[in-house]
Chain A
């Protein structure tokens, strides 16, 4: 595989400045995403606080094993991502490709489990407005829990899908063309930051969805 000399863009003095600026850009973007999901969690906390009993009743139907498997998968994918970056810094291209592939694979597994969980949710009649039967004592706010569930996990899944796309882009486009080298691997670091952030979102969604009303 060829290795190309990468030149910094016109507005940058050197590659180091370009790479550092790209990472700062991703951090700024992560700030906006924190506020985006944080606003959603705001509505969650508001309604959970207002209707604790109804939320607890509704949340019992959340499929804990799916959520737990998924948190395991996504935390592991953060590990594989960071090992990929280590490999890039070392110039170990084969390892880089393998770790990236593992990351993408774990992401896809997450989505598969999520999809299966949605199928189970449908069978449990917890899909608001589409297929929803309120359990006794749960109405009306129990449905709000499930609205939050689908909006939150749906948005998270969209972000994760984009992340898988980015990982594959790095792997199949940038790495293949030799544009990720031990001298300059900032695009990979930027995707890594995004990936770990998507992991972080799930870390907060997990207790919000799966650990309510279990005792």
Chain B
């Protein structure tokens, strides 16, 4: 491995150096990096809150005042959901690679792409204002009537931050949908699209149809909070559950917004590092589109004990069982894709395999939660927290890191140090399970979520969880260091260091500003790997031994 600093030839990143050329860029690749910077900042803000929480929860008496603890879990949720998980893969890897994977020179609306970044940061500033002024203590779900009538925190500002953030989501989703419909290169039919593109397409549909309902809900929340009317106040004819219905109509599909792009990434990783086509391409695409649609039918499974009617609860429970089916199909297909492959245990593959296992555990526990009789006992306990962290962190964040490593040479023209990356990936898996598996047990034992204290007999599990969190923190910090190192001293990477088949690997690393010298012509489907012969064919029809 070379540790001499090497200059890169002219590419999208070094063509122009001025601040203006970055802040006013229309290049989707630069915008992806701008987003990457923003979401990384928010990841550490949300992570900081989590750190304080786990330090606090190591003992029953804790470290923080209860009101401060309440602000910590709220901040953690709001920041991680809207400012990290929802934008992460779409605005970074999606922005960078969707045009390249479909053979286009940019997204359909480059200026809207840039505007999306500015709107995102504006919403971040509004949230920062709320945090600095004293924070919010309602939980990221802003349930009424606490949030409208009784909370003495900056609910209005936080709701406005979420409202503005939604526009960023909508702009991004709109851009991807239109781009994928209209800007595919000649020969790039829908059935030749890589599964990552399908993942981004399906997630964009969800973003577009779910976010506006949240936008309206936050407007109504703001109106009630600011002006003092009774939309969610039973004494004045309102229904507090109306907030929840509209909130979860968005927020349940939102969790699928978080997982669908990750599923797309994992398909790319498994195909490349097992040197095999993904099993069941049609099933995988139908599954992703089904998940996108079915995700809209299940929202009130968050409200089973909130006061909805039992008949409604039965309907939503049944729907939730249905939505698990396409996810399970995907897990089967990923597993079968490994069979007779030539598996390479590089960091991206370790992250991908971790994804499959952690997603399976998260998904199965989701089915447990969908079961009314079980949910009555474990609703609003650490069981739920463990469930969604298995998916959002165990799965989505692993997929994000896996994709980041996989595409790192393409984006930067540099290799990351493989041994460090493998170590970080394994450490992530270990730290994650140590952090969150004890929380399943705690939830089953009855520890409620959002509680600043707990009975002393549960301390052992909490200590295990906090210990795991410290390992996880190291695992997440490591890439910051070695990826940063690689930018200067990393070994130079060629156009296709992993021997992958997508169109993005047919151009130089880093790519030129216009992505391709000439618009590519697509000859085949996405995963033409031949594991027996060890050869592969990129989508432009060029065979490589």
Judge whether A140 and B230 touch: CB under 8 Å.
yes
> Which B residues are CB-close (under 8 A) to A33?
212
**Cα-based distance from A39 to B99 in the complex (angstroms):** 33
Judge whether B215 and A143 touch: CB under 8 Å.
no
B178 at the A interface (CB under 8 A): yes
**Cα-based distance from A24 to B175 in the complex (angstroms):** 10
Closest B-chain residue to A147, C-beta based? B229
Judge whether B216 and A36 touch: CB under 8 Å.
yes
Determine how close the nearest CB of chain B comes to the CB of A165; give it in whole angstroms.
Answer: 16
**Cα-based distance from A151 to B226 in the complex (angstroms):** 13
**Cα-based distance from A39 to B223 in the complex (angstroms):** 15
A68 at the B interface (CB under 8 A): no
Judge whether B237 and A141 touch: CB under 8 Å.
yes
A14 at the B interface (CB under 8 A): no
CB-CB contacts of A8-50 with B at 8 A, as 1s and 0s?
A: 0111100001001100110011011101110110110011001
B107 at the A interface (CB under 8 A): yes
A51 at the B interface (CB under 8 A): yes
A144 at the B interface (CB under 8 A): yes
- Among A20, A21, A25, A129: residue with most chain B CB under 10 A: A25
> Which B residues are CB-close (under 8 A) to A141?
236-237
**Cα-based distance from A35 to B318 in the complex (angstroms):** 25
> Which B residues are CB-close (under 8 A) to A25?
108-109, 112, 174, 178
Instruction: Give the residue of B108, B208, B211, B231 whose beta carbon is less than 8 angstroms from that of A147.
Output: B231
Judge whether A43 and B231 touch: CB under 8 Å.
yes
> Which B residues are CB-close (under 8 A) to A91?
none
Determine how close the nearest CB of chain B comes to the CB of A21; give it in whole angstroms.
Answer: 5
> Which A residues are CB-close (under 8 A) to B249?
39
Instruction: Give the residue of B216, B217, B227 whose beta carbon is less than 8 angstroms from that of A130.
Output: B227
Determine how close the nearest CB of chain B comes to the CB of A123; give it in whole angstroms.
Answer: 19
B-side interface residues, number (CB < 8 Å): 41
Judge whether B104 and A11 touch: CB under 8 Å.
yes
CB-CB contacts of B106-117 with A at 8 A, as 1s and 0s?
A: 111110100000
A6 at the B interface (CB under 8 A): no
Closest B-chain residue to A42, C-beta based? B246
Instruction: Give the residue of A9, A37, A43, A140 whose beta carbon is less than 8 angstroms from that of B242.
Output: A43
**Cα-based distance from A155 to B219 in the complex (angstroms):** 10
> Which A residues are CB-close (under 8 A) to B211?
32
Determine how close the nearest CB of chain B comes to the CB of A205; give it in whole angstroms.
Answer: 14
**Cα-based distance from A25 to B229 in the complex (angstroms):** 37
Judge whether A35 and B213 touch: CB under 8 Å.
yes
Given contacts A21-B183, A143-B229, 11 further A-B contacts (CB under 8 A): A9-B106, A10-B514, A11-B104, A24-B181, A25-B109, A32-B174, A32-B212, A36-B215, A37-B216, A39-B249, A46-B239
Point out residues on B near A: beta carbons under 8 Å.
99, 104-110, 112, 170, 174, 177-178, 181-183, 208-209, 211-213, 215-217, 219-220, 223, 227-231, 235-239, 242, 246, 249, 514
11 contacts between A and B (CB under 8 A): A10-B106, A17-B182, A21-B182, A28-B174, A28-B178, A32-B170, A39-B213, A40-B220, A140-B230, A144-B229, A144-B236
